[in-house]
Chains A and B, each alone.
Chain A
Amino acid sequence: MITVNTKEHPWHKGMTVRTVIQEKGYTFTHLVVRVNGSPLHESLYDSFEIHDGDEVLVLHLMAGG
Chain B
Amino acid sequence: MSKILKEYTYTPAKIDKGYSGKSLYIHVGDLRIEEKEVTEFMKEKFVGGKGFDLWYLWHAVTPETRWDSPENEIVMSAGPLGGITQYSGTGKTLVCAISPLTDIPIDSNVGGYYGPLLKFSGWDALELQGKADKDILIFIDGNKGHIIIEEADDLPEDSHLLAEELTSRYAENEQDKVNVSVVSTGSAAKHVLMGMLNFSFYDPRRKTVRFKQAARGGLGTIFRDKHIKALVVKYKGIKGDTNNPADLATLNRVGIKYHKQMHDLDDKQNAMRKIGTANTIMVMDKYDLLPTRNFQTGGDPDAYKISPQVFINEYLTQGIHDGCWYGCTMSCAKTADHFPLKTGPYAGQCVTVDGPEYECAAGLGANLGIFDPQAVLEQNFYCDTYGIDLISYATTVAFIMECYEREEISQEDMGGLDLRFGNAQASLELMHQMSRGEGFGPLAGLGIKKLKKIFVERFGADENLLDDIGMENKGLEYSEYLHKESLAQQGGFALTNKGPQHDEAWLIFMDMVNNQIPSFEDKAYALYYYPMFRTWFGLCGLCKLPWNDIVPADNYLTDTPAKVPEHVQNYVEIFNAVTGKNIDKEELILQSERVYQFQRIFNIRMGKGLREHDSAPYRSMGPVTREEYLSRQERYDKQLQELQGLDPSTMTLDEKIAKTRAYREKQFELLTDAVYKRRGWTNNGVPTIERLQELGMDLPMLLEIIKPHL
Contact = CB atoms under 8 A, between A and B. Distances in A.
Contacts of A25: 286
A27 B481 CA distance: 18
A62 B545 contact: no
Interface in B495-554: 502-503, 506, 508-509, 513-516, 518, 545, 548-549, 551
A65 B551 contact: no
A32 B283 contact: no
B653 interface: no
A63 B515 CA distance: 16
Q: What interface size band does chain B fall in? A: 20 to 34
Contacts of A26: 513
B704 to A, nearest CB: 36
Interface centre among B283, B508, B556 (most CB of A within 10 A): B556
A64 B509 contact: yes
Contacts of A7: 515
Contact of A27 (B269, B283, B518, B561): B283
B269 A30 contact: yes
B283 A65 contact: no
B270 interface: yes
A58 B286 CA distance: 16
Interface in B265-286: 269-270, 280, 283, 286
Contacts of B549: 63
B515 A6 contact: yes
A7 B479 CA distance: 30
A32 B561 contact: yes
B530 to A, nearest CB: 10
A59 B562 contact: yes
Contact of B561 (A6, A61, A64): A61
A52 B457 CA distance: 62
B556 A62 contact: no
Nearest to A28: B283
A65 B283 CA distance: 13
Which has the most chain B C-beta neighbours within 10 Å: A32, A59, A61?
A61
B506 A64 contact: yes
B440 interface: no
B502 A39 contact: no
Contacts of B701: none
A60 interface: yes
B270 A65 contact: no
Nearest to B508: A64
B512 to A, nearest CB: 10
A57 B479 CA distance: 29
A32 B556 contact: yes
Given A32-B555, A32-B556, A65-B481, A60 B515 contact: no
A6 B479 CA distance: 30
A60 to B, nearest CB: 4
Interface in A1-43: 5-7, 25-28, 30, 32-33, 39, 41
Contacts of A39: 556-557
Given A27-B286, A62-B508, A65-B358, A5 B514 contact: yes
B287 interface: yes
B503 A59 contact: no
A30 B562 CA distance: 12
Contacts of A63: 270, 506, 545, 548-549
B513 A5 contact: yes
B502 A59 contact: no
Interface string B144-181: 00000000000000000000000000000000000000
B562 A5 contact: no
Nearest to B357: A65
B562 A61 contact: yes
> In the complex, which of the residues B269, B283, B506 has the most CB atoms of chain A within 10 Å of its own CB atom?
B283
Nearest to A4: B515
A39 B549 CA distance: 21
A41 B268 CA distance: 14
A50 B561 CA distance: 22
A59 B481 contact: no
B330 to A, nearest CB: 11
Contacts of B557: 39
A15 to B, nearest CB: 20
B509 A62 contact: yes
A62 B515 contact: no
A9 to B, nearest CB: 12
- Which residue, A27, A62, A65, has most C-beta atoms of chain B within 10 A? A65
A61 B551 CA distance: 9
A39 B559 CA distance: 10
Given A30-B269, A65-B479, A59 B358 contact: no
Contacts of B481: 64-65
Contacts of A30: 269-270
A56 B370 CA distance: 39
B270 A59 contact: no
Contacts of A65: 358-359, 479, 481, 502-503, 506
Given A59-B561, A62-B280, A64-B502, 5 more contacts: A27-B283, A60-B514, A61-B548, A61-B561, A62-B513
9 contacts: A6-B515, A30-B270, A39-B556, A61-B561, A62-B513, A63-B270, A65-B479, A65-B481, A65-B502
